[in-house]
């Protein structure tokens, strides 16, 4: 049409140059906030992963059999493991008549608890006959290079043996010969409620080593292990359960019993872990300290949690 002309090459160059300058100026102001938002979001994700991991481990520890926490470290292979014995329920056993009571002078296979069981009777693991009873687990160890692998018979739930005979001719053994702190794996436990009273019946008589000061008895279904393997190529925390109690604390995920256990990854991108355990006493609870480092996209977050562990025997 008359009166209209196309843009010249110089005008196009000038327009493109001005547009480029404006785009560069605008991008400077937009890129930094976007980058900062991405960094904050990534750090928040890492914090969530670390926090949820520590909370999950802490939940298992808080419902564990007293004095069943044990830790093994393998710094040469960048591994550390924490193991507990899970409880289904805790009750107070009947220590005197009337009614069937738990004797510590003779083996028992039938006794009552005070009140009704709320969870153990409905637990599928217990109904399959895989639950075990624990009374007065002191968590004692024989010592040695790896104390967690040397549990004292009759005083530690991880011992696979009953208490031995006394040296010499002594008759005042503690714990008594043949006694245990946890019912044998071969002994099935039947749990029932009748008229407001819970009852425990064992397929074989069991002599428990020492009476609880507060008459506490715990029903346990499985040990639980968390293995933190922060070696290159793995960098994961994995939860293992449904395996047989072992005297030697498991830490190698590719070997028995962990290789045949149920398992689930808890967290990935773990670049460092540390677990420590301070046993308790009659005056104070045990203390577990946990620290993990999560890394992703050049960002790393380290969280630590310290918790008191219920220690009532």
Average pLDDT across the chain, whole number: 87
What confidence score (pLDDT) does residue 69 get? 95
What confidence score (pLDDT) does residue 299 get? 85
Question: Judging by DSSP bridges, how do beta strands 286-296 and 197-206 pair with one another?
Answer: unpaired
Q: How confident is the model at residue 305 (pLDDT cuts 50, 70, 90)?
A: very high
Residue 36 predicted with pLDDT over 70: no
Over residues 193-214, the pLDDT tens digits come to 988 899 999 999 999 999 998 9
Over residues 239-278, the pLDDT tens digits come to 999 999 999 999 998 999 999 999 999 999 999 999 999 9
Classify residue 206 as exposed, middle or buried by CB count within 10 Å of its CB (0-12, 13-18, 19+). buried
Over residues 181-190, the pLDDT tens digits come to 999 999 999 9
All structural domains of the chain with their residue ranges: 52-309
Residue 124 predicted with pLDDT over 60: no
Residue 169 predicted with pLDDT over 60: no
| pTM (two decimals) | 0.85
Is residue 224 within 8 A of residue 239, CB to CB? The reply is: yes
CA distance 246 to 22: 70
What confidence score (pLDDT) does residue 263 get? 96
What distance, in Å, lies between the first and last C-alpha atoms of the chain? 100
Q: How confident is the model at residue 4 (pLDDT cuts 50, 70, 90)?
A: low
Best CA proximity match to 227, nearest among 256, 257, 250: 250
CA distance 211 to 194: 25
What confidence score (pLDDT) does residue 39 get? 64
214 CB-near residues (< 8 Å, 6+ apart): 92, 312, 313
Beta bridge partners of 136: none
CA distance 310 to 222: 18
């Amino acid at each position: 049409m008359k009166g209209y002309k196309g843009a010249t090459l110089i005008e196009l160059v000038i327009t493109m140059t001005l547009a480029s300058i404006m785009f560069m100026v605008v991008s400077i102001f937009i890129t930094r906030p976007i980058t900062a938002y991405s960094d904050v979001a990534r750090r928040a994700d890492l914090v969530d992963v670390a926090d949820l991991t520590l909370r999950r481990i802490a939940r298992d520890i808080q419902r564990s059999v007293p004095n069943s926490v044990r830790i093994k470290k393998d710094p040469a292979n960048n591994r550390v493991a924490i193991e507990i014995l899970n409880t289904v329920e805790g009750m107070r056993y009947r220590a005197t008549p009337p009614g069937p009571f738990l004797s510590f002078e003779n083996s028992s296979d039938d006794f009552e608890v005070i009140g009704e069981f709320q969870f153990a009777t409905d637990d599928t693991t217990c109904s399959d006959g895989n639950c075990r009873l624990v009374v007065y687990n002191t968590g004692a160890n024989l010592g040695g290079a790896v104390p967690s692998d040397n549990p004292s018979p009759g005083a530690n739930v991880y011992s696979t043996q009953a208490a031995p005979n006394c040296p010499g001719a002594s008759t005042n053994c503690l714990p008594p010969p043949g006694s245990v702190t946890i019912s044998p794996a071969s002994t099935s436990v039947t749990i029932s409620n009748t008229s407001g009273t819970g009852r425990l019946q064992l397929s074989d008589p069991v002599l428990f080593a020492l009476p609880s000061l507060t008459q506490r008895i715990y029903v346990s279904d499985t040990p639980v292990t968390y293995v933190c393997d922060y070696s290159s190529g793995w960098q994961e925390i994995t939860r293992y359960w449904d395996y047989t109690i072992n005297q030697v604390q498991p830490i190698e995920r590719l070997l028995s019993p962990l290789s045949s256990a149920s398992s689930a990854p808890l967290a990935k991108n773990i670049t460092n872990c540390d677990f420590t355990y301070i046993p308790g006493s009659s005056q104070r609870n045990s203390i577990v300290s946990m620290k993990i480092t999560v890394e992703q996209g050049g960002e790393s977050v380290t969280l630590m949690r310290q918790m008191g562990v219920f220690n009532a025997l």
